[in-house]
Copies of this chain bind each other. A is one copy, B any other.
């Protein structure tokens, strides 16, 4: 197994363990066991426990970002773009349900402690939404009364909170329906009148 494989495996193990117990309740030894490596090995790839968390964050944000950008590639209509964004977001979250929880928590936790450079990734993610809103405002389908950046925050907050819902409670409502409701709500909210 190559070194890259091992780093990857540790990262994946960290996601599993962190999301299962929360970052602070997780022990480095658990991550090591889950990854099938010795405790000390983790320190060959990561500076310390917190660095491991940050790398998980970075890795995930980069993945999410590139998926979003790839999905937006051929779309021009801002409304369709927002629909795409929402669906892709839920897809990513669905793929590794606990990951989102880790990220949200980690993001908030670390916001005071994270390097600004690391937060930039989250800013980019918000930026994608904000850009969509701006484009919609430029062609007149979204209301100019909403500040794009604020709107992006609100959209992300709604996505994040809903994702949490089914992470924590029985998904009595199917994902598709939740997703549909959200698209309805947010697009209407932004739409010009």
Q: Give bound CA distance, A187 to B143, whole Å.
A: 10
Partner-binding segment picked from A39-47, A53-61, A155-163: A155-163
Q: Mark contacts of A178-191 with chain B using CB atoms, 8 A cut-off: 1 yes-contact digit, 0 otherwise.
A: 11011111111111
B185 touches A146 (CB 8 A): yes
This protein's copies in its complex: 4
Residues from chain B with Cβ under 8 Å of A145 in the complex: 181, 184
Within the complex, the shortest CB–CB distance from A125 to chain B, in Å, comes to 12
B109 touches A185 (CB 8 A): no
Q: Which residue in B94, B108, B111, B157 is a CB contact (below 8 Å) of A158?
A: B157
Is there a chain B Cβ closer than 8 Å to A87's Cβ?
Answer: yes
Q: Mark contacts of A143-172 with chain B using CB atoms, 8 A cut-off: 1 yes-contact digit, 0 otherwise.
A: 111110011011111111111111110000
Q: Which A residues lie at the B interface, using CB under 8 A?
A: 22-25, 79, 82-83, 86-87, 90, 93-94, 97, 100-101, 104-105, 108-112, 133, 136, 140-147, 150-151, 153-168, 173, 175, 177-179, 181-193
